[in-house]
Each structure stands twice: as C-alpha cells, then as structure tokens.
Chains A and B, each alone.
Chain A
Amino acid sequence: MAPEPPLLTMSGITKSFPGVRALDGVDLDVQAGEVHCLLGQNGAGKSTLIKVLAGAHQPDGGTIGWRGEPVTLRSPIAAMRLGIATIYQELDLVEGLSVAENVHLGHEPTAAGFVVRGKAAKASTAQLLRRLGHPEIDPARLVGELSAAQQQIVSMARALSHDVRLIVMDEPSAALDPDEVDNLFRIVGDLTADGVAVVYISHRLEEIRRIGDRVTVLKDGRAVAGGLPAKSTPTREVVALMTGRNVEYVFPERPTRGPSSEPVLRVQGLARAGEFEPLDLELRPGEIVGLAGLVGSGRSEILETIYGARKPTAGQVSVDGRTLRTGSVRAAVRAGLGLAPEERKAQALLMLESVTRNVSVSSMSRFSRGGWIDRGAERGAARAATRELSLRPDNPSVPIRTLSGGNQQKAVLARWLLRGCRVLLLDEPTRGVDVGARAELYAVIRRLADEGLAVLLVSSEVPEVLGLADRVLVLREGRVVHTAPARELDEHRVLDLVMEGSPAS
C-alpha cells in the first residue's frame, strides 16, 4: 500500500439533537477505491453520520479531512462539489420529471447559460445507464413510472453524473431482488476499480462479506471498531461489537404470576400482500408481546393494520371475541385499541396544541354534552392522566412542542389511558427519547400492563424488546421466523435471526 493520505477522514464527529446525542465522537477513514461498510443497529448513528457526510447536517464538533485537506461540508452542494454523492434509502427523485431530467437536476447541460440541452442530457444519461448495466431504461421516461429498483439505478446515475470520488449507499439492497443485487455489486466493483470509494450501509452481513473491504461498527453514536477486515472478522465478533453496550438500560421486573388466560386481542391470519405474511397472534391482559425486526420487516405495517389504519388483504382482528371491521381506525379505537405510532410528530401529536388537548383528543365525548366541551372537566382529566404517568412539566396547559421526546410519548400514552384503552400498540416507543428517560418509560409501560393492559411492542432495538416483553416474535421480511418467551432469547440470537433469517436449531 502506498502511504497515500486517506480520501476521507472524519474524526471526533459529534452531533446532538434535542434530547439525543446522535453522534458522540465518531472516527471514520475511507481509502480511495475501497468499499467501506458501516454497521450498527437502528439508532446507532449511521443515518446521522452519512447526513453529516452529505452536508445535510452540520456537526457540532470534530473535523473532516478530504484528500488530506480539512474541509467544511456546509451544504449538500458543497459536498457534491468535492465529489461526495449520497444515495439515500428513501430515494430523492422527482417523480414527475424524466430520467434524464432527474439525473441532471441542478446541473443541466445548457446552451447560452439557461436553455436546457435536452438531447445532450439524454445522451449522457443513456451512457451512464449503460455503464450501470441498465441500457433498457429510457432516459425520456418519467421516474414515477419506474420500479423501485430502476429508480435506484437512476439515483446512482445521478450520483455518477457528477465527478464523484465517494459514493455513500444507504441500504441499497433493501428494495432489490437477488439478481438486481448481483448487478448492484457488479456496479460497486466497477466503481472501486476506477478508484471511487464506496461507503456501504447494510444490515445484511453476507453482503458485507461479499463486497466489503473494511468495516466500521457504530454503536450508541460511537465508532466501537474502525477498519476491521470485512471478509475475515468473525460474525460473533461483529455482532458482539454491535450489541455490547456501555449503557445498560434498567428494565422493570416481570410479574411472577402469568397473565390471565382469556386473550383480549386475537389476530387471525392477518396479512397485507407485499408487506407481511399471514400472522396469528393472541394478546392477554397484563402481557407485553414484542415484535423484533429490522426496518422493512413489516413491523410497523403489522401494528397499523391491526389498528385499522391499513386495510388487510386477508385475516381478521377481534377484541374480546368480537371481530372488528377491518380498515377502520374508529372501530379499533371504540373496541379499546390505542396506538402510539412510530413517527410521533407526524402521526400522533397536534404540535400547535397544548398537552391537555393532545391528551383529550380521543375522548372528547367524555367531557362534552351535546358537543359542548366542559373545559374544567377536560383539564382535570388530562391532569389526572398525565400525573399518573409523571409527565413533566406538571402543567398540561403548556404547548406540547415544548416537551421532551419522552414526555411527548407519555402524553400519547396518557391519551389512551384517558380513553380507557385495553390494548396498547407501541411502535418504537423510545425513538427520540434520551437514554435517561427511557428507563422511566419502560417502567410506565410495565405498570400499565400490570394494571391489566395488553401491550404489543415494536422496536428495532433488540435489548428493548428482550428487556420489556414477556414473549417475542422475531420478524424478517414480513414473516415471523421465531417465537419464544423473552427469557429464552438473547440479543445475539435475535440479531442472528433478523439478519440471517436462518433459525439455527
């Protein structure tokens, strides 16, 4: 190896968001022409790190070196000018524009400075698509008409339309069929042969083995291992690095008595084509059942379908033996279901409103007569419910947006508590909740279960599922691959299951 300076060196990168320290001093160095894999569980800081690298987030501290020179990536355009391109998981293409227009968006070939030379754009796009092994994509077609895999190729063509030296790929294989994955790997191989570096993020260890050169493992916002050999580091070691935590969460004791025998919620053969396969599930009062799986494993879709927010293609949900009308949130809520959704701000909270109004929104009929709200009763009830969960500050008339993530989550729980809900569906309940507040939230969830609620918990943080749930269903790509009492599982085993999918018996 020539003693050339690394293409990219990031050192001591820190980045905080309100309530969360997303990056806590991350180091990463990338050589020209290598495939550098980033590994880590959800919430380890991978997304934040690549957004810093793409210029989309400004780091709070640390330095970035590019070909030996210190640089500041002030904006996505600045990063692009240096030759850093990012292909995000959620593709950022404009569906109403053609392939060629998307590829050249922001740097169209022009005549006289402003007249877009459509033919030149199409020609160079066709050339890029050939290079990527997809000459069948017509540069004139609208991106919205393409398949997900083809869109990804377009995204890649866009990256290559710049003079690119480093490409960041965020789980590029997630949306692809196996033969498309082969093509992707061929492209990655071609790029690295040309001296382009690739930062490759994936949950699939076998992919990292196939194409990776080195691996950096992130955990809790730190790089716990940098530049491990991708092909030879044992799986055990990688998994251990991903999971061995510094912060041990305190989980509440499980009750010694078993849950009562009659299930409150029964899910039979529930399925949504393309999202998850038929699922059977029973939930008893007092029981917490966890769904463990990666992003895209169908966990959120399952919760939302049970809740009626998505219409199932097969199967049914019943509460206390009564079958619910499928695809109706109102039927589910009336039957006693409550959902704390994954995207709290987008799906649960009324950000302009007070805590009281956020809590009371699902049970307004209880403080109103003929549509007329008794605001005193409403305030009193909201206060009682938020106190029950020790929500801070102890003043429900403050705007909900001023609360921390953990307290906002408590407000969502208080909403269902006030409604008298019997089955609580929790989707990533501790996302955006800082570490200190998590233990309190865990205790609250367990207490609600002890008081007779049935809880269905989804989390991509395996320790959370194992620590909190009584029973765990492990999901992989829309299918339950394993079911066991939480006591009989450990983190390594679950991670093996969700990543490899082969239940080693």
Chain B
Amino acid sequence: MTQPVSPPRGSTDKVPPMSELPAWRTLAARADVRTLSLLGVLVALIVIGGITKPDEFLDTRNLQLVLTQASVIGVVTVGMTFVITSGGIDLSVGAIVALSSVWATTVATQEYGFAGILFTAVLVGVGCGLVNGLLIAYGGMVPFIATLAMLASARGLALQITDGKTQIVTIDGILKLGERDSYILGIPPLVLVFAVVTIIGWLILNRTTFGRRTVAVGGNAEAARLAGIDVRRQRLYLYLLSGLCCGIAAFLLIILSGSGQNTNGNLYELDAIAAAIIGGTLLSGGRGTITGSVLGVLIFTTITNIFALNNLQSDVQQIAKGAIIVAAVLVQRRTAAHST
C-alpha cells in the first residue's frame, strides 16, 4: 500500500518561502509590477489633486470623504473580485445594494432598531446571492444571464417597496455612525469596515482552501472538477459571498445617506467590475487580487473627487474612467505576454 507522502516535520523552518530567489526578486514577486504601477497612478492622482486644488483636495475632510465614498463600492468590489476570479460575473450587485438598503429601512424594519437594520440588510444581500448561486451552480445558468435577471427583479422589488420614495432613517445609533463624533482617530467607521472587509477578503483569497478553490475553478473548472473539487458548491458559495458584501455595502450606504432609496447602488456593477479588472483580476478567471481591486476603487474614487473639485462634469469623468480601463487592460496584456 502506498502511504501518502507526509510533509516533513518542521519543513516550515528548513524551507523558507521563496528561498530560491534573491531578496529583490522576492520583493518584486510579492509586490508585483502591476500593483506598484497602480500605486504609482494613485500617487500621481494625489499629486494632480494637490496641485490643481491644493487647499480643498488635501483637506482632511475631503480625504475622509474620498475614503468614505470608496468604502461602499469597495466592499462590493471585494465580493466581485472573488466572483470574477472564479470565472463568473455578478451584474446584480448594484440592484442588491438597492434592495437591501430599502428593505432594511422600511418603517417595519426600523421598529427593530439598529440590529434590525443591520440584520435585514445582510440577510437580503445573502438571500439574493443564494438565488444567484443556486441558479448558476445547480440550475446551469450562465452567470451573466442569472445575475442580469436578478438585477432587473431586485431593482423592481426595491421600487415596489419604496414606491419611489426616500425612506428616512430615524434610528439615532445609525445616524450617529455617520457623524464626525464617531470617527476613530480621524477615520470614519465606514472606512474601518471597508478595511476589515478588505483584510478578511485578502486572507480568504490568499490563505485559505476557499480561496484556492476559487482560483482553481476560475483557472480551469474542468481540471478542478477532475481534481476532486466540488465546483458547483464552490460557485454557490461565491455568489453568496458577493451577496453578503452587497448587504454590508447597503448598510454602509444607509449610514452614509441616513436613508434607503431604490436608486441606490446605480451602476455599481460596472464600477466594481472595472475596479477589479484594472486591479489585475482576470475577467476570464484564475487570477484575482484584492489589493489590486482596492487600489482600483481608490483610483476611481479619487478621480471622481478631483473632477468634482475642478467643476468638471460627470460626462468627462465617465470618459476618463473609460480611458483608464482601456489603458490598464492594454498594460496588463503586455505584461502577461512578457511573463509567458
């Protein structure tokens, strides 16, 4: 009988990671070229912002605002990064955010106070993710179609719940979280939530079997299946995760706006996909980077802020965003060609 090969005891000490590579290459491998160039872009944007509007852009309040705005879409993007890494797509994120935010702010829900709102927002997000996941993993539907259907229905349901009206939040605990008094060391609580989600997302993707399975399913679903991975269950979990992130984002949005609206999260799906792609996550799956996605979100939010400060209309912003997506993907293709 063949025994499984046992990992040598204490191998962790004897074979340090990347021991075969010189120090600089280790560094380069860790913070790869793409991440560094994204950081460079972000720094350049900050410089541009600082030059064009020195007083306003670098003002603490403005920076807090940028980070707060990045938090909502950022949390959605973390979930989206998992889905795209697995070779899927979730077009329903914006609609789920809208539905979660309105369901959690109905008069009936608000009776249950802070916990009721938080719980409902998360539960609605997970519920929508569950439907997406079941349709895709076990119903054999293409992710694009299943989540497109969810986009339409969730938006419709959100409109039905609100009847197009803004639902004002009256719970003090929620409203207070958006005020300056609750900032911790100058950091808004929303940003802290985003940071925690990012760190957990990074750890899951890079350090857990769940992350490995996600990458394997996206890189080669057939190989993953033949290697004994339950591909369908993994897909279900991934859309659940994306829904969960949408629920959290909806809660953040409720804090931020003090209300729930059926127009919330408009076009989040495109922003989240764009941020993930320019971050370096492959749309075809098999490679994903949480760090890149977060940098992508920060870049987009900073651009929006700089343009707004310089009184440039949103049409110009859209054009700039489009150009950045094209440029980032072209650069990626070039680096991909070099590395193979």
Residues of A bordering B, CB below 8 Å: 285, 307, 309, 329-330, 332-334, 339, 341, 346-353, 357, 361-368, 371-381, 383-385, 388, 395, 397, 401, 415, 417-422, 448, 451-453
B229 contacts which of A351, A361, A418, A453 (Cβ < 8 Å)?
A361
Contact indicator B209/A371 (Cβ below 8 Å) = yes
Q: In the bound complex, what is the Cα–Cα distance between A375 and B207 (angstroms)?
A: 8
Cα distance, A420 to B6, chains bound together (Å) = 10
Minimum CB–CB distance for B140 against chain A, Å: 15
Task: Please pick, from A285, A361, A452, the residue contacting B212 in the complex, using a CB distance under 8 A.
Answer: A361
A373, A378, A395, A422, most chain B CB atoms within 10 A:
A373
User: Can you name the residue of chain B whose Cβ is closest to the Cβ of A393?
Assistant: B20
| B 186-225 binary contact with A (CB < 8 Å = 1; else 0) | 0000000000000000000001111011011001101111
Q: Would A366 and B219 count as touching, CB distance under 8 A?
A: no
Q: Find chain A residues with CB under 8 A from B286 CB.
A: 350-352
Which of B7-15, B104-112, B245-253, B326-334 interfaces with chain A? B7-15
Q: Which residues of the other chain, B, contact A364 by a CB distance below 8 angstroms?
A: 209, 212-213
Residues of B within 8 A of A380 (CB): 7-8, 11-12, 14-15
B5 at interface, CB cutoff 8 A: yes
Bound CA–CA A384/B11 (angstroms):
10
B4 at the interface (CB under 8 A from A): yes
Tell me which of B209, B220, B226, B340 has the highest count of chain A C-beta atoms within 10 A of its own C-beta. B226
Complex: A380 Cα to B227 Cα, angstroms? 20
Bound: A348/B7 CA distance, A: 23
A309/B225 in contact, CB under 8 A: yes
Chain A minimum-CB-distance residue to B282:
A352
A-B contact pairs, 13 of them (CB 8 A): A329-B226, A334-B228, A350-B215, A351-B219, A368-B209, A371-B210, A381-B5, A383-B15, A384-B5, A384-B8, A397-B18, A415-B227, A420-B5
Chain B residues near A329: list those with CB within 8 A. Answer: 225-226, 228
Q: A266 vs B22: C-alpha distance in the bound complex, in angstroms? A: 51
Question: Residues of B within 8 Å of A, CB-based: how many?
Answer: 38
Q: Chain A residues near B1: list those with CB within 8 A.
A: 285, 422, 452
A422 to B2, CA, bound (A): 7
Decide yes or no: A353 and B215 within 8 Å by CB, A309-B225, A329-B228, A346-B223 being known contacts: yes
Q: Please state if B219 and A350 are interface contacts (CB–CB under 8 Å).
A: yes
On whether A420 and B209 interact (CB within 8 A), knowing A352-B219, A353-B215, the answer reads no
A362 touches B18 (CB 8 A): no
Selected from A357, A362, A365, A381, the residue in CB contact (under 8 A) with B7 is: A381
Closest to A341 in B: B226
10 nearest A-B residue pairs (beta carbon): A380-B11, A376-B12, A420-B4, A333-B228, A381-B7, A380-B7, A350-B219, A377-B7, A364-B209, A371-B208
**Complex Cα–Cα for A23 and B141 (A):** 44
For residue A419, give the distance in angstroms from its CB to the closest CB of chain B: 7
Closest-by-CB residue of B relative to A357 is B212
Complex interface: chain B residues within 8 A of A368 (CB) = 208-209
